[in-house]
Amino acid sequence: MRQVRALVVAGFGINCEEETAAAYRLAGAEADIAYLNSILHGTCSIHDYDVLTLPGGFSFGDDLGAGKALANKLRYRTLPSGRLFFDEASAFVEEGKYIFGICNGFQVLAKMGLLPNTNGDYDQEVTLTTNASGRFEDRWCHCTSLSVGKTPFLKGIDVISLPVRHGEGRLVIRDASIEERIIAQSLNCLSYSDSGGTPTAKFPMNPNGSQLNCAGLCDSTGRIFGMMPHPEAYLSAYNHPDWPRMRRLRPDTSEEGEGLQIFRNIVEHIKSR
């Protein structure tokens, strides 16, 4: 069986590429890190891979709003082939492949129009903007999966503990009709919650004030998925700030961090196909 291949983008202020590639390798995939310019200049093709990942970071310093400059670059840049990168990314998904955006990567996918894409026209329908608290939030939170099988990234996940670290993570939906379609199509697939798994708008359990308590969105195919929390930052139990107490209470539990499950899910799903 051919090994699953993951491409992790780097450059222009992205700074979580190493942890993200490590997550795919721990999940059993082959992972390559490629600077964005090598893709835009045609020396690296996304079509050689099964899953394309835009990691977290501060692309272009967030100077035009988090992810906006990179989203414009990816949406409108013409490749040496004469095709837009955006067209290549759309074709990549139509081939049955997967795109994953984490934090800044999620912001980019939303501002490119790839998420949630409720109308199928790739118009920008949502944004991720300044946290309701008015400050950068660096804390751990609980998230509940609402996917009901919508996206393979969240298979088998009920409640998951993950860190957030962002200044612009608040999901704002353009209008009520788009919000209705997001709900009707079950695209709000990951929600900030309390420790018991009940979605909540209460701060700090919801760290940014997102509409629909949204921590992650997918498109209607489930093949494009974006989330604000950082699963690549919880690959080992020892990444958690409360790990000593957790290990004392449950000494026989796995030393795996909960975030690894998301990467294992997509790798195993691609293998099964």
What is the DSSP-derived secondary structure letter of residue 22?
H
Cα separations in angstroms, 116 against 68, 106, 193 = 16, 11, 21
Set 16, 17, 19, 103: catalytic member: 103
DSSP three-state, residue 8: strand
Set 142, 166, 230, 240: catalytic member: 230
Which residue's entry shows tokens 């290990």? 247
DSSP 230-251: -GGG-SBGGGSTTHHHHHHH-T
Set 17, 19, 125, 232: catalytic member: 232
Query: Taking a C-beta distance cutoff of 8 angstroms, is the pair 83, 77 a contact?
Result: no
Strand 98-102 versus strand 224-227 pairing type: parallel
DSSP three-state, residue 78: strand
Residue 103: active-site member: yes
In 3D space, the residue among 171, 176, 177, 214 whose CA is nearest the CA of residue 192 turns out to be: 214
- Tell me the CA end-to-end span of the chain in Å, nearest whole number: 11
DSSP 74-117: HHHPBPTTSSBHHHHHHHHHHTT-EEEEETHHHHHHHHHT-SS-
Catalytic residues: 103, 230, 232
